[in-house]
Amino acid sequence: MKFSAPLLLTFAGALTQAQAGPVSFAGDTGVLISVGPVTLGGPDVTLTGTAKSIYEQILVLNPDYNPVDFGGKPIGSEASSTLAKKAHDSLLELTKRTSTGGCCNCNVPPYNVMQDFREFEEGWDYLVALGSRGCGTGSSGVSRVSCSNNAAIWMVSTSQRATSSTCGHLGNLAKAVFFQRCTGGTDVTGQECDTGGFCILLGKASC
C-alpha cells in the first residue's frame, strides 16, 4: 500500500513528537515478514502478509498447528477478559522487558482519528497466536502488521531500516496502547515504543 505525500509527512511528523529522531515513510509501506518454524523442530519458514494471513498460511502448511507449542496463545483465548485487564496485564509484562513508553501528539494524523479499541482485537489476537515467531519489516522499516474493521496496526523502525521482534511481543505492545491512548473510553489511537528500535502504532485506516 502507498500513503499519499501529505499523509506521509504528517505521519512522520507525529512520530517525531514522540521520539528523538524523525522516521521516513517514503515509498511503499511493506508487508509484515515473519520467520520461524511451522512444525515442532522444523526448519524456519518465511511468510509474508498480515498477522492474520500469516496465521492462515501456517494452518495450510500445518493443519495441526497449536499456538501454545510455539509460545503463543490460541485465538480467542482471552475473550472473557476485559479490555482494561488485557491491556494492564500486557503493560505489566512489557514493564519487565523492553517498553520505553509511548503515546503521541494527539492533534495530528494518524493520532487524531480515533477507533474503538475493540476493533484492534483481531490484529493483536493473531500476533499473540504467532508467539515466538519473528515478525518484522522490510528495508523500508515500515510494515502494516494488521488491518481489519478499519483499525490498523503498524510497525515502524526508529532508524529507517529493517527491524524485527517476536510476533507475540508486538501483540503485547499493541494491547498496551490502551493505557497510552489519547483519550478516555474505548476510542483509542496511539503508540508504544520498544528499546529494540521500533514503535507499534494503532490508528484508523480503510480496510
In a domain, 152, yes or no: yes
Amino acid 90: pLDDT:
53
Amino acid 131: pLDDT:
95
Instruction: State how far the alpha carbon of 32 is from the alpha carbons of 21, 103, 139, 200, in Å.
Output: 23, 23, 11, 13
In a domain, 139, yes or no: yes
In a domain, 75, yes or no: no
In a domain, 144, yes or no: yes
In a domain, 76, yes or no: no
Q: What is the mean pLDDT of each run of 10 residues along the chain (207 residues)?
A: 35 39 51 96 97 97 96 76 54 48 50 65 90 93 86 85 93 77 63 85 78
pTM exceeds 0.85, yes or no: no
C-alpha–C-alpha distance, residues 13 and 183, integer Å = 20
Residue with cell 507525529: 14
In a domain, 13, yes or no: yes
Amino acid 4: pLDDT:
35
In a domain, 12, yes or no: yes
- Structural domain for 66, as ranges: 5-70+81-204
Into how many domains does the chain fold?
A: 1
C-alpha–C-alpha distance, residues 78 and 81, integer Å = 5
In a domain, 53, yes or no: yes
